[in-house]
């Protein structure tokens, strides 16, 4: 198809996709009614963008991770899935299990429309391990009136570690919009993992919007079946719109260990994450949970959205954590959407992957969370290369040879010294805009320096992940960017450049970067304090034609104090 025709096709579906109301159901996903059950005719052999170790099923559309948990020694991942096509629709819970959060075995669909309370779709939800050790799933059903309601499912056989069959509660729905509670029936969804208070009541949050206010509605129950709405939401913020997939969990001050969702007490702080439908980003707040008032008091509230951190400054949404009792850690899972056209998604027969599961804990400053790929992913590392300390001269790039650059894990640290050469940033600017204006090809003072991933030999294509150090108010200010403007010669793809400021002091410590590169995704961790995930659809730098470079296009030399890279083996991802 000519580029022109693809464009027309894409624009047509883009317009269609913004009609987000369908028979009263509202979702942030673009809706392509007539494509929901269209399956691809393309052969599976020409699939350069399928990932080797980021989770994805063999075909079709996926979105949010649902109900993650560890049960009888197995990790369970459910996810929003369209069994019939590669756009959002026909939504059910697909199910995979794993021993290590890296290799996954598919099981039969777990939860699918079967009763009036979910006959039009089984949307997102969460698992709770009850005090008797058995799991319970609360999920949103789209009922026969197209209302969003909350349902309960329990395993048919709790002694089955695969939890392959789920039985829905005959009393479903357990929470529903009514004329009395005046809840908008298309803005009421995505129950969290429940937590148990000292008073013997479970609590759960449901995402909601009232007028312009985003709300985390709180429900309480003694028996997990009869739920009563609390008088006040746990937290709400005017002007923030619909809150999807809320997540509420405790973190320990000054410890990397995770704790069960119901734990509270001294040295415990709480995190509330919401997926903002209007922005399609996951924002988290750190704060205190006032148990007496059942209210969350964030250190910085969502009204000041510019000051609220995100889990990821690239493509990442509808995430969810769970407590892993085996490794005493909290693990974060998230959906990474495509950046390609719907026409291309249909052609390749699939859409959506999941990010590598990340361990998540409170930074010792107490001001932000730290995220790091689960350690198990390192078992896929092979063919290590390691550079001796090297000076990377101003204006140069150096090739990292010996790794399969389209499927790699790279760790690199930079020492920057000549601060007098840093560019001055007079006025604060939106970091993403700054990254776009000062992309990797724009020469700077101290930086840009970092990695060129998925680079073609002639550097016509590359995805640059880099730092740029500014002087702002007489202090260093570190910008962290993932520049995708040259990531594909096919510019029908979304080539947005992403970025954020990084809370780091390059005077005191070298800047470190880790990138997980996997065929169509680059997941980059700046010190673990900021993460940027990009989707990349190379046309030249395919498989063996993909190269990896370290680069420095600033005016000052920088020192690479460490570069370790590995080819990554293929994981079993269904």
Task: Just list the catalytic residues.
Answer: 64, 143
Alpha carbon of 529 to those of 38, 337, 338: distances in Å?
Answer: 41, 22, 24
Short-list 367, 276, 283, 263, CA closest to 325: 263
Least gap, CB of 123 to ligand DQQ (angstroms)? 3
Short-list 165, 162, 167, CA closest to 104: 162
Residue number, 64 or 527, with CB nearest to ligand DQQ: 64
Residue number, 123 or 284, with CB nearest to ligand DQQ: 123
Handedness of CA 417, 422, 425, 429 (dihedral sign): negative
**573 phi/psi in degrees, rounded to 5:** -120, 55
Least gap, CB of 28 to ligand DQQ (angstroms)? 6
Closest residue to ligand DQQ in the complex (CB): 123
| Residue 342: its H or E element | helix 342-348
CB-count exposure of residue 36 (10 Å: 0-12, 13-18, 19+): middle
The C-alpha atoms of residue 417 and residue 403 are separated, in whole angstroms, by 29
Residue number, 203 or 320, with CB nearest to ligand DQQ: 320
Residue number, 186 or 407, with CB nearest to ligand DQQ: 186
Is the distance from CB of 192 to CB of 247 less than 8 angstroms?
yes
**Kind of pairing between the strands at 148-155 and 135-142:** antiparallel
Least gap, CB of 214 to ligand DQQ (angstroms)? 12
Residue number, 244 or 461, with CB nearest to ligand DQQ: 244
Residue number, 339 or 413, with CB nearest to ligand DQQ: 339
At a CB cut-off of 8 Å and minimum separation 6, what does 309 contact? 283, 284, 368, 369
Residue number, 64 or 461, with CB nearest to ligand DQQ: 64
The 8 Å CB, 24+ separation contacts for 162-165 are 162/74, 162/97, 162/107, 163/71, 163/76, 163/95, 163/110, 163/135, 164/95, 164/107, 164/108, 164/110
Residue recorded with tokens 């009922």: 143
Residue number, 120 or 275, with CB nearest to ligand DQQ: 275
Residues lying near ligand DQQ in the complex (CB under 6 A): 27-28, 63-64, 80, 91, 123-124, 140, 189-190, 244-245, 275, 317-318
The C-alpha atoms of residue 109 and residue 101 are separated, in whole angstroms, by 19
Q: Which two tokens stand for residue 81?
A: 């899935």
Report helix, strand or coil for 187.
coil
The C-alpha atoms of residue 240 and residue 244 are separated, in whole angstroms, by 11
Least gap, CB of 380 to ligand DQQ (angstroms)? 28
Is the distance from CB of 416 to CB of 446 less than 8 angstroms?
yes
Is the distance from CB of 492 to CB of 541 less than 8 angstroms?
no
Least gap, CB of 456 to ligand DQQ (angstroms)? 34
Q: Which two tokens stand for residue 65?
A: 């991770």
Q: Which residues pair with 71 in a beta bridge?
A: 74
Residue number, 125 or 301, with CB nearest to ligand DQQ: 125
Distance of CA 278 to the CA centre of its chain: 16
Least gap, CB of 245 to ligand DQQ (angstroms)? 5
* DSSP 8-state code for residue 473: T
Question: What ranges in 422-534 are assigned the alpha helix state H?
Answer: 431-437
Least gap, CB of 320 to ligand DQQ (angstroms)? 10
């Amino acid at each position: 198809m000519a580029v022109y025709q693809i464009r027309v096709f894409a624009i047509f579906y883009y317009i269609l996709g913004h009609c987000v109301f369908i028979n009263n159901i509202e979702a942030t996903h673009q809706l392509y009614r007539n494509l929901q059950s269209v399956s691809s005719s393309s052969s599976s052999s020409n699939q350069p963008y399928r990932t080797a170790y980021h989770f994805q099923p063999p075909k079709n559309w996926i979105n949010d991770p649902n109900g993650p948990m560890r049960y009888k020694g197995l990790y369970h991942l459910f996810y929003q899935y369209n069994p019939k096509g590669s756009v959002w629709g026909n939504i059910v819970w697909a199910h995979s299990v794993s021993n290590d959060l890296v290799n996954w075995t598919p099981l039969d669909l777990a939860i699918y429309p079967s009763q009036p309370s979910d006959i039009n779709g089984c949307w997102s939800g969460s698992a709770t391990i009850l005090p008797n050790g058995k799991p319970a799933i609360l999920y949103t059903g789209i009922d026969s009136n197209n209302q969003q309601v909350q349902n309960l499912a329990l395993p048919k056989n709790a002694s089955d570690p695969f939890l392959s069959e789920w039985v829905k509660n005959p009393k479903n729905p357990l929470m529903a919009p009514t004329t009395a509670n005046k809840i908008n029936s298309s803005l009421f969804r995505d129950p969290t993992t429940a937590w148990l208070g000292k008073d013997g009541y479970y609590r759960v949050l449901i995402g909601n919007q009232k007028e312009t206010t985003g709300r985390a509605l709180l429900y309480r129950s003694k028996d997990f079946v009869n739920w009563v709405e609390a008088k006040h939401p746990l937290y709400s913020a005017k002007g923030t719109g619909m809150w999807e997939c809320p997540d509420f969990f405790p973190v320990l001050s000054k410890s990397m260990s995770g704790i069960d969702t119901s734990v509270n007490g001294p040295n415990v702080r709480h995190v509330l994450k919401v997926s903002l439908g209007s922005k399609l980003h996951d924002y988290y707040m750190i704060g205190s949970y006032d148990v007496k008032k059942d209210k969350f008091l964030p250190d910085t509230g969502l009204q000041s959205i510019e000051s609220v951190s995100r889990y990821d400054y690239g493509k990442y949404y509808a995430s969810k954590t769970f407590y892993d009792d085996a490794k005493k850690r909290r693990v974060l899972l998230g959906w990474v959407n495509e950046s390609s056209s719907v026409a291309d998604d249909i052609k390749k027969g699939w859409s959506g992957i999941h990010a590598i599961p990340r361990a998540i804990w409170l930074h010792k400053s107490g001001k932000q969370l730290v995220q790091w790929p689960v350690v198990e992913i390192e078992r896929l590392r092979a063919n290590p290369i390691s550079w001796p300390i090297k000076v990377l001269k101003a204006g140069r790039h150096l090739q990292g040879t010996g790794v399969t650059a389209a499927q790699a894990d790279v760790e690199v640290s930079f020492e920057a010294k000549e601060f007098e050469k840093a560019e001055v940033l007079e006025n604060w600017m939106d970091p993403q805009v700054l990254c776009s204006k000062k992309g990797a090809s724009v020469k700077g003072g101290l930086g840009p320096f970092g990695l060129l991933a998925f680079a073609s030999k002639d550097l016509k294509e590359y995805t640059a992940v880099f730092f740029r150090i500014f002087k702002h108010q007489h202090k260093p200010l570190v910008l962290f960017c993932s520049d995708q403007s040259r990531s594909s010669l096919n510019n029908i793809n979304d080539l947005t450049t992403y970025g954020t400021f990084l809370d780091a002091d390059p005077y005191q410590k070298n800047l470190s970067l880790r990138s997980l590169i996997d065929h169509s995704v680059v997941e980059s961790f700046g010190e673990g304090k900021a993460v940027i995930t990009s989707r990349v659809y190379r046309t030249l730098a395919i498989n063996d034609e993909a190269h990896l470079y370290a680069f420095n296009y600033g005016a000052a030399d920088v020192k690479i104090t460490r570069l370790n890279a590995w080819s990554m083996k293929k994981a079993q991802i269904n």
